[in-house]
Amino acid sequence: MTRILHIVPQVPPAVCGIGDYAWLLAQALRDEHDIHSSLLSAGTNWTKPEGVAEFPLYRLPELTTQALVNFVIARPGEFDALVLHMSSYGYQKRGVPMWLASGWRQLSQMPPRPRLITMFHELFASGSASSSAFWLKPLQQHILRVIARSSDGVRTNREAYAVWLRGASARKTSPIVAMPVFSNLGEPAHLPPWSERELAMVMLAWGIHSGEGLDAVLRRATSLGSRLGMKRLHLIGGKPVQVPQDLDLEVEHHGFMNVADFSALLASCRLAYTAYSPQHFGKSGLMAAFAAHGLAVITQGREPILPDGLRSGVNVVHESMLQAEAVVDPLELEKLGTALRVWYDGHSLKKNATSYVAQLLQPTAPCPHFNKK
């Protein structure tokens, strides 16, 4: 039996997309491949799980190199592999977890040791010279290089990230896997027919990357939705939102929704509008959820250029393509939703789990970057 340890910033029920990702992945690895997981919470925040957890859960007693190394040494032979879910700000408030990079490097030098896999959910921050992110960027990049070079397998969710990691890790073998994330908000095996879906669209009240306020984005979304024949917009947001009264569609605001209810709502709608950066769709759990539910997605952004296998006008439609005088055939919207689901099926939870297995079950060789004297 293969046993692995996922290292994450937080574990459910904490609100943490990376924790949810690791949890769902652990379920798929167990159910489909007989690979059994434990989770180690090693982030800056901690929410105590309630009741009996589905997987063994641990909490790192302190965020130090020695604590991490001691945790692994104290369990010889217990784990065949460690999977580090890397997002720097989850492990250190300024995004510079030197303790983690040092610990991962030390683990890579242990003989014998578990296989080390790193999933880079994010890379480094950027910003103007007046921001702390600008000055911390070189140190953040150094930490990522150390972790990448200490890993037996490297993966990420965006091809743009993979390009940087290939250079940073100087890997000539063991190619870096780039695979968009799966939905952590439901993944229906069967979708309702388009004709049975409500003439409605959905939008999230967060994740606006254009710098605009919610009111401005909501007005544009409802205007486009009205032109496309929609009658209602479902606005999802945990906080109270003041919805303008003079919009082109009826707006129904929902607060916090559990996964089952959220999934049912998505499956009942036809469209989604997102102001999330199109260049980062590969790492977006919300975009993955829209795709998994076969929604026709209207994207915002300055340029209608999409990465990671998406094609504008085929899988999604950029709002700049919807001219005021254009009439969009409802069948074209259905085709968009169908094509987006096809794109999603290439990196579904099952496909991601199978890809992980290929990395997890490879033999572990001495780390070429740090074990030479």
Domains contained in the chain, CATH given? 2-179+350-360 (3.40.50.2000), 194-346 (3.40.50.2000)
The sheet carrying 232-236 orders its strands as: 250-254, 232-236, 200-204, 271-274, 296-299, 317-318
pLDDT at residue 373, rounded to an integer: 36
Residue 149's pLDDT is what?
A: 94
Of the ranges 127-131, 197-201, 255-259, 355-359, which one carries the lowest mean pLDDT score? 127-131
Res. 199: pLDDT tops 50: yes
Residue-wise over 229-249: b if at least 16 C-beta within 10 A, else e? ebebbbbbeeeebebeeebbb
**Ranges 71-85, 130-144, 211-225, 278-292, most confident:** 71-85
Q: Which of 52-61, 109-118, 172-181, 219-228 has the least mean pLDDT?
A: 172-181
Looking only at the bridges linking them, the beta strands covering 271-274 and 35-41 are: unpaired
DSSP 171: -
Closest to 100 in 3D by CA, of 142, 137, 136, 131: 142
What is the rounded distance in angstroms from the CA atom of residue 156 to the CA atom of residue 118?
8
Per residue in 12-61, pLDDT tens? 887 788 999 999 999 999 999 999 999 999 999 888 887 778 999 999 99
Strand runs (DSSP E) across 108-176, as ranges? 115-120, 153-156
Secondary structure (3-state) at 190:
coil
State mean pLDDT over 87-95. Answer: 93
Whether residue 13 is preceded by a cis peptide bond, meaning omega within 30 degrees of 0, is yes
Confidence of residue 160 (pLDDT cuts 50, 70, 90): very high
What pLDDT does residue 113 have?
A: 93
Q: Residue 370: which pLDDT band, with cuts at 50, 70 and 90?
A: very low
Least confident of 134-138, 164-168, 251-255: 134-138
Kindly state the average pLDDT of the residues 291-317.
84
* pLDDT given at position 171: 62
Mean pLDDT value across residues 226-238: 89
Measured between alpha carbons, how far is 55 from 170 in angstroms, rounded to an integer?
Answer: 35
Chain position carrying tokens 């909501």: 218
Q: pLDDT band at residue 65, thresholds of 50, 70 and 90?
A: very high
H helices of 195-309, where?
214-227, 259-268, 285-292
Q: Is 324 exposed, middle or buried (0-12, 13-18, 19+ CB in 10 A)?
A: exposed
Amino acid 321: pLDDT: 78
* CB atoms closer than 10 angstroms to residue 351: 16
Q: How far apart are the first and last CA of the chain?
A: 35
CB contact at 8 A, 286 and 305: no
Residue type at 142 in one-letter notation? H
Residue 152 one-letter amino acid:
D
Q: Which band of pLDDT confidence, cut at 50, 70 and 90, is reported for residue 303?
A: low
Q: What is the pLDDT of residue 153?
A: 94
For residue 184, pLDDT over 60 is answered with yes
Predicted confidence at residue 175, as pLDDT, reads 84
In terms of pLDDT, which residue wins out, 54 or 208? 54
Maximum pairwise Cα distance, the chain: 70
Tokens (6 digits) for 181: 């994330």
Task: Dihedral sign for Cα 237, 240, 242, 248, please.
Answer: positive
207 in Cβ contact with 238 (< 8 Å): no
Q: How confident is the model at residue 275 (pLDDT cuts 50, 70, 90)?
A: confident
Q: What average pLDDT does the structure give for the chain?
A: 88
